[in-house]
Amino acid sequence: MAGVDSATRAATPSLPWKTKLLVTGLTIAIDCSRRSNGTVNRRLFNFVDAKAPPSTKPINGVTSSDITVDPSRNLWFRLYTITRLSAASSAADDGDAKLPVIVFFHGGGFAFFSADTKPFDDFCRRLASELQAIVISVNYRLAPEHRFPSQFDDAFDTLKFLDVNDGVHLPQYADLSRCFVAGDSAGGNIAHHVTLRASTNHPEFKKLKICGLIAVQPFFGGEERTESELRLTNVPSVNVERTDWMWRAFLPEGSDRNHEAANIFSGRDVSGVEKYPATMVFVGGFDPLQDWQKRFYEWVNKAGKEAYLVEYPHAIHGFYVFPELPESSLLITEMRGFIQKHS
């Protein structure tokens, strides 16, 4: 894919001032809310984490509603439904078009944000509208109040809920046999783990079939420091100090970053997992986590699975929630091609 010549590589990304301001604001909010003793000042963070309500009134042809999976742990998802099929898809399918389902896990280092966080709400609506898909954005529990494996359990239980209820909460034209699991950052890590769990231990899904995994800048790590982690110390969004904090908040107390949830490469690969689906990995040239993400792509590829690496040399970690960045639209175009190919 797009190769980056180190001679042409700038030291810092050039971003529109509005994007820079937003990224800086969010980063400061996270830094001020995460305490050195490993807890999160939720009151402070919620103050800056703007939430969006669901909307029964279509916005860009998409309505949304919140559906409870398990009230005892506040597990729910936001469902995005298309009200107006695009001319292309309705003509092609003669009126009874069935739409693929994207199950999405938001990022935030396992510890921040939620399915109703405004930038994620906007992003999921955009996915539904531009990909002509049903989108399910899962509100999993957060660390450190809930550590590993709570997030993976919530993710898996949501898939099970969708399968057991046979799409009863979904519009009739949702096609659970064309399901794509997607996530960004920590959500990309969750997407991998839940896909692995669904492909390994629980082949008994009746209806739900995972046709692809879309990992957008997935959050993986380990004790090792990679070249990109050491080099990109002064870029917007993430750095080693922040990601180390996130791992400490998420992983079981006493474990290091070589824990299997972070360093998946230390364990068995997916070559023996027959059902592990085609995988697409997105990487940004200004993301300190990119070496781990490329390793993920290679790890899937070497295991004999269909894998794609898409690299945006100028992209920072989290670029996709900023529609003003050109890579944000390129990402959606790539996702569309991947979903069409694997439907």
Ligand X SMILES: *[C@@H]1O[C@H](CO)[C@@H](O)[C@H](O)[C@H]1NC(C)=O
Q: Which residues are catalytic?
A: 185, 287, 317
Least gap, CB of 33 to ligand X (angstroms)? 11
Q: Which residues bind ligand X (CB under 6 A)?
A: 35, 37, 39
Q: Indicate the residue among 33 and 137 with the shorter CB distance to ligand X.
A: 33
Rg (C-alpha) for the chain, rounded Å, is 19
Least gap, CB of 43 to ligand X (angstroms)? 11
Q: Indicate the residue among 144 and 288 with the shorter CB distance to ligand X.
A: 144
Contact 319, 286 (CB under 8 A): no
137 vs 329: CA distance, rounded Å: 20
| List of E strands, the chain | 62-70, 75-82, 99-105, 134-139, 174-184, 210-216, 278-284, 307-312
**Of 132, 143, 108, 121, nearest to 66 (Cα)?**
121
Contact 188, 107 (CB under 8 A): yes
Least gap, CB of 239 to ligand X (angstroms)? 23
Least gap, CB of 39 to ligand X (angstroms)? 5
Residues composing the chain: 343
**What is the number of the residue whose Cβ is closest to ligand X?**
37
Q: Indicate the residue among 35 and 84 with the shorter CB distance to ligand X.
A: 35
Q: Indicate the residue among 43 and 57 with the shorter CB distance to ligand X.
A: 43
341 vs 337: CA distance, rounded Å: 6
Q: Indicate the residue among 45 and 338 with the shorter CB distance to ligand X.
A: 45
Least gap, CB of 120 to ligand X (angstroms)? 27
Contact 284, 317 (CB under 8 A): yes
**DSSP readout, 170-184?**
S-TTEEEEEEEEEEE
The residue written with tokens 């003669």 in the block is 94
Which pair of tokens denotes residue 280?
Answer: 């697409």
Q: Indicate the residue among 204 and 253 with the shorter CB distance to ligand X.
A: 253
Residue 296 Ramachandran class (φ > 0 left, ψ -120 to 50 alpha, else beta): alpha
Least gap, CB of 110 to ligand X (angstroms)? 17
